[in-house]
């Protein structure tokens, strides 16, 4: 059930070339931009890899439809933040896996603690927020802040939000593949 790093690279190369939801970038461009932003911000190699792989669950769904910019928005949450974890657990530590798992809740958290955050979300991200449970209440905020890796997940979320720039140049997938190998120890 687990993936190897070459299989992850193949998955990203073949299944991440479609549009990233309603955004004007491909899923691969989004992943590369997110990882590049994390690296530029001097994150740990583990957080950079988490940024690269945070949406891998979207690509692992066997029923993943082809997406175009004109498609309607989804009517239910695909729980992508959990889907990839069993496939990655044999390769990476919690320093990679937990920010991936928590990046959706980080959006819910940021909407609760940062008054301007909601206004800056794209329409697609606002729609998915509602499907993912909406804004955290005060009790949920406290519980989230008690989790290990919550701060990394919040930073990953901010990179996720910024990683939607059409035509933005980043290092290629081979560059980040080396980082995945380094972090995994394989």
> What is the domain-level CATH number for residue 27?
1.10.3210.10
Residue 50 lies in a domain: yes
Mean pLDDT within 106-116:
95
17 pLDDT exceeds 90? no
Look at the chain and report how many structural domains it folds into.
1
25: phi then psi, degrees, rounded to nearest 5? -135, 160
Q: What angle do CA 75, 80, 86 make, to 5 degrees?
A: 150
Farthest CA pair distance, the chain: 43
Instruction: Please give the model's pTM, rounded to 2 decimal places.
Output: 0.88
Residue 59 lies in a domain: yes
Q: What's the confidence (pLDDT) of residue 79? A: 72
Mean pLDDT within 15-21:
65
pLDDT interval class at 69 (50, 70, 90): very low
Q: What's the confidence (pLDDT) of residue 107? A: 95
Residue 68 lies in a domain: no
CA 46 – CA 65 distance, rounded (Å): 30
13: containing domain: 5-63+74-184
């Amino acid at each position: 059930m687990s993936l190897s790093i070459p299989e992850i690279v193949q998955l990203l190369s073949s299944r991440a070339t479609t549009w990233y939801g309603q955004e004007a970038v491909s899923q691969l461009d989004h992943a590369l931009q997110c990882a590049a932003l994390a690296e530029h911000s001097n994150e740990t190699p583990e957080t950079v890899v988490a940024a690269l792989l945070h949406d891998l669950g979207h690509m692992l769904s066997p029923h993943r439809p082809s997406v175009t910019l004109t498609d309607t928005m989804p009517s239910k949450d695909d729980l992508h933040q959990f889907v990839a974890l069993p496939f990655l657990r044999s390769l990476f530590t919690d320093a990679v896996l937990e920010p991936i798992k928590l990046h959706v809740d980080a959006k819910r958290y940021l909407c609760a603690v940062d008054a301007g955050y909601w206004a800056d979300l794209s329409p697609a991200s606002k729609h998915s927020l509602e499907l993912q449970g909406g804004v955290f209440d005060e009790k949920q905020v406290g519980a989230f802040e008690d989790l290990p890796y919550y701060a990394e997940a919040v930073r990953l979320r901010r990179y996720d939000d910024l990683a939607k720039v059409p035509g933005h140049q980043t290092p290629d997938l081979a560059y980040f593949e080396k980082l995945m190998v380094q972090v995994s120890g394989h």
